[in-house]
Amino acid sequence: MAINKDSNTYTISFAIVLVIIVGGLLAAIANGLKPIQDENLVNEKKQNILNCLPGNKSITRDEAGSVFNNFVKQRVILNYNGEIKENTLLDNSIELNNKDSKDAFSIDLLKEYKTIKDEKSRNYPLFICDVEGKTYYVAPVMGKGLWAAVWGFIAIDESGNSISGTVFDHKSETPGLGAEISQDFFEDQFIGKLISNEDTYKSVEVNKPGNPLNDYQVDGISGGTFTSVGVEEMMSRTLVVYHKYIKNLNRS
């Protein structure tokens, strides 16, 4: 055994062999698991969209994949003025394509806000859904809480006047405080709240808990002030676009 372990040749060849073995192993594992991971992500988004529709709160992530098309009839991308972008109105007979930028499902609102500075040129995805003959519009919202991003999906009724359901989620809000926004008791408060005053948009306010509420107000989370404010801010900023679209649709 006369190998000199401290020689450069040995060190370098050891490093090369190690890199090849480790690299190959990782590539194999990552590629093998990739389809399952992608499906998880797609299904989670589907689940979020479906969960905010009335009566669909209990749909699990595994079910969401197969029943998505039963509820979501059309997918569409709007511009800032609430108009449909060219060639983006897709029927649910067209298969969902997570890679196609014309498919509303592929649009990540978070990315739109991060990468496109001009709000006029951002894409706003909207999902037109049908539950027992009634039309609902499901719109994504996103903003920031105390630590990092918060986001959600809001279902708006056919008239564009009130909220029919919400789902919120967050990256890393404080568990037990800000993180409570993803709990049912918080989300369900929004049901029936108005977002429209004589056809102009009026945002839902998230108030300090314990005060009397009107039709435009919900209770915030005590101890989760910044997250509550974040929820209010993201709803007022994003929903206005979708409100314009639904109102125009109803007028014509």
Partner 1 sequence: MAESTEVLEEKKIKVKEREPLFSKKNKKLISDPLDENNPITIQVLGICSALAVTVQMKAAVVMSVAVLFVLILANVSISLIRNLIPNRIRIIVQLVVVAALVIVVDQVLKAYLFDVSKELSVFVGLIITNCIIMGRLEAFALGNKPWPSALDAIGNSLGYGMVLVIVSFFKELFGSGKLFGFEIFGNATEQTGLYAMGYMDNGLMLLPPSSLILVAVYIWVQKIRNPSLIESH
Partner 2 sequence: MDLVNIFIRSAFVDNMIFAFFFGMCSYLAVSKTVKTAFGLGMAVIFVLVVTIPINFLIENYVLQEGALSWLGEEFSSVNLSYLTFIMFIAVIASTVQLVEMIVEKISPALYGALGIFLPLIAVNCAILGGALFMQEKQFATITQATVYGLGSGVGWFIAVVLIAAIRERIRYANIPGSLRGVGMAFLITGLMGLAFLGFMGFEI
Binding-site member from 80, 147, 201, 216 for partner 2 (CB under 8 A): 147
Query: What distance in Å separates the CA atoms of residue 23 and residue 183, rounded to the nearest whole number?
Result: 41
Can you count the helices (H) and strands (E) in the chain?
5, 10
Task: Give yes or no for residue 94 binding partner 2 (CB under 8 A).
Answer: no
Burial (CB count within 10 angstroms: exposed 0-12, middle 13-18, buried 19+), residue 67: middle
Q: Does 114 bind partner 2 (CB under 8 A)?
A: yes
Residue 146 touching partner 2 (CB under 8 A): yes
Q: Which residue number, 51 or 162, has a Cβ lying nearer to partner 1? A: 51
Among the listed residues 18, 20, 22, 25, the single contact to partner 2 using CB under 8 A: 22
* First vs last C-alpha separation in the chain: 87
Pick from partner 1, partner 2, none: which does 14 bind, CB < 5 to 8 A by kind? Answer: partner 1
Least Å from the CB of residue 72 to partner 2: 25
Kind plus residue range of the DSSP H or E element containing 201: strand 200-201
For residue 113, the minimal CB distance to partner 1 (Å) is 20
CB 23 → partner 2: shortest distance, Å? 8
Complex with partner 1: residue 38 or 199, whichever CB lies closer: 38
DSSP letters along 66-101, please? HHHHHHEEEEEEE-TTSPBPTT--EETTSPP-TT-T
E strand or H helix at 61, and its extent?
helix 61-71
Q: Which residues bind partner 2 (CB under 8 A)?
A: 22, 26, 30, 114-115, 146-148, 171, 225-226
